[in-house]
Amino acid sequence: MNKKYMYSLLAVIVLILLPYVGVEAAGLQVLFGIIIPYLAVLIFIIGFIYRVMDWASSPVPFRIPTTCGQQKSLPWIKQNKIDNPFTTGAVIIRMALEILFFRSLFRNTSIGLNQGPKISYVWEKWLWIVALAFHYSFLTVLIRHLRFFLEPVPVWLQWLEKIDGFFQIGLPGLYMSGAVLLAAVTFLVLRRIYLPQVRYISLAADFLPLFLIISIAITGILMRYFTKVDVVGIKELAMGLASFHPAIPDGIGALFYIHLFLVSILFIYFPFSKLMHMPGVFMSPTRNLPNNTRAKMHINPWNYPVKVHTYDEYEDEFREKMKEAGLPLEKE
């Protein structure tokens, strides 16, 4: 067994047991239903803003975009405006493609070493597809949960739910997003465990959010399709939290508190972890700047004078030799 994912697995098991025992044995509904969720949201918001401000407090001294296409130069040479943007508008398109469609990951290849030797490069699409599936299904699930905090449920949300439940399988109707999320996150875990190189670079901290999300998805799916929890009671709790008049309704099972607690942990964990790649991708200087430094001077706020070897010092040292070689001199 690999120690790295065992640590995370154990941590998640403990995190599941805590609210179970807390609610079932100690009656700590207020702690797990009100205090921790509030605390989690607070830590998430403050932590998130703090981290982003912290990044922003470091300047961008040099404009170093990674250019992935032809630069803007001469009229007869066709520029790749997206992968080598010259204007802010083009940068916005580059960033949008990066953030919405994971454009760089789309390029992913995998190498093979064949007889000869001949190296082959094959388009590796699976990580890109699953990453897209994972992030978009997660987003859909998150948005769907707004139903618990809004009364009446807005029309657009009802539309989203209709689309998500398009296939009308089972009762209550299966949401695609939940199933896709669980499948995608499982793929990501298996990839980390079974691909030798990915396993090698993985930290315990890389498994924790995956196990957390799996547990969150499973408890959610259990509640919706199998144990059929008291949805009215849960909505009452959610509305109470959202309107700052929190109250604990009766009859909500421990499963819900486990679900809520794991979500709270994910929120708390977020600002301290690699999950901050979410805001980070917006701020990455190799992607979010135009490649126009040669046309437009970029200012380094901490630029300072340095000691250089001046021409005069150079001529002083080599004057005789320069004279012999017939080179023009400043001072004879």
Partner 1 sequence: MIDSKERASKLSYLPPKTDWMDTPTVYKEGMYCYAAKPSRLEYMDAPYPKDWSCMDEDWQLPENWKEIILEGMKERLEKYRTFKIFMDICVRCGACADKCHFFIGTGDPKNMPVLRAELLRSVYRNNFTKAGKILGRIGGARELTIDVLKEWWYYFFQCTECRRCSVFCPYGIDTAEITIIGRELLNLLGLNIDWIAAPVAFCFRTGNHMGIQPHAFVDMLDFFTDEIENVTGVRMEQTFNKKGADLLFICPSGDVFGDPGTFTCMGYMILMHYLREVHGLDCTWSTYASEGGNFGLFTSHETMKRLNAKMYAEAERLKVKWILGAECGHMWRVINQYMVTMNGPADFLEEPVNPLTGTKFENAKATKMVHITEFLSDLIQHKKLDLDPSRNDRLKVTFHDSCNPARGAGILEEPRHVIKNVCNHFYEMPRNCIREQTFCCGCGSGLNAGEDMELRMTGGMPRGNAVRYVNELHGVNTLACICAIDRAVLPTLMGYWAPEVDVCGISELVANALIIPGEKEKTENLRGEPILRKDVEPDEWYTRPDFPGREE
User: Are 269 and 209 contacting, i.e. CB atoms less than 8 angstroms apart?
Assistant: yes
Can residue 203 be called a binding residue for partner 1 (CB under 8 A)? yes
Compute the distance between CA of residue 23 and CA of residue 129 in angstroms, rounded to an integer: 39
**One of 21, 49, 67, 156 touching partner 1 (CB under 8 A):** 67
37/290 with CB nearer partner 1: 290
Quickly list H helices, the chain: 3-24, 29-30, 36-57, 88-101, 103-106, 126-144, 155-164, 176-194, 196-201, 204-221, 231-242, 254-269, 277-283, 311-324
Q: How many residues bind partner 1 (CB under 8 A)?
A: 99
Strand partners, 81: none
What is the Rg, in whole angstroms, of the alpha carbon atoms belonging to the chain?
Answer: 28
Tokens for 52, please give them: 């982003």
Q: What are phi and psi of 38, to 5 degrees?
A: -60, -45
Query: Least distance from C-beta 52 to partner 1, angstroms?
Result: 10
Can residue 89 be called a binding residue for partner 1 (CB under 8 A)? no
7/20 with CB nearer partner 1: 7
Compute the distance between CA of residue 124 and CA of residue 195 in angstroms, rounded to an integer: 14
Pattern 177-196, partner 1, x by CB under 8 A: ------------------xx
Query: Least distance from C-beta 225 to partner 1, angstroms?
Result: 30
Alpha-carbon dihedral sign for residues 243, 245, 249, 254: positive
Residues within window 3-62 making contact with partner 1, judged by CB under 8 A: 7, 51, 54-62
Query: Least distance from C-beta 145 to partner 1, angstroms?
Result: 24
Stretch of 16-24, 31-39, 69-77, 227-235 contacting partner 1, by CB under 8 A: 69-77
Query: Least distance from C-beta 6 to partner 1, angstroms?
Result: 11
User: Are 281 and 260 contacting, i.e. CB atoms less than 8 angstroms apart?
Assistant: no
| Coil, strand or helix at 190 | helix
Pattern 95-134, partner 1, x by CB under 8 A: ---x---x-xx-xxxxx-x--xxxx-x-----x---x---
Can residue 69 be called a binding residue for partner 1 (CB under 8 A)? yes
Q: What are phi and psi of 115, to 5 degrees?
A: -55, 145
Tokens for 214, please give them: 């799996």
Residues within window 212-271 making contact with partner 1, judged by CB under 8 A: none
**One of 16, 18, 33, 83 touching partner 1 (CB under 8 A):** 83
Strand partners, 109: 123
Residues within window 285-304 making contact with partner 1, judged by CB under 8 A: 285-287, 291-300, 302-303
Q: What are phi and psi of 119, to 5 degrees?
A: -95, 135
143/198 with CB nearer partner 1: 198
Would you mind telling me the total number of residues written for the chain in this entry? 332
Pattern 134-173, partner 1, x by CB under 8 A: ----------------------------------------
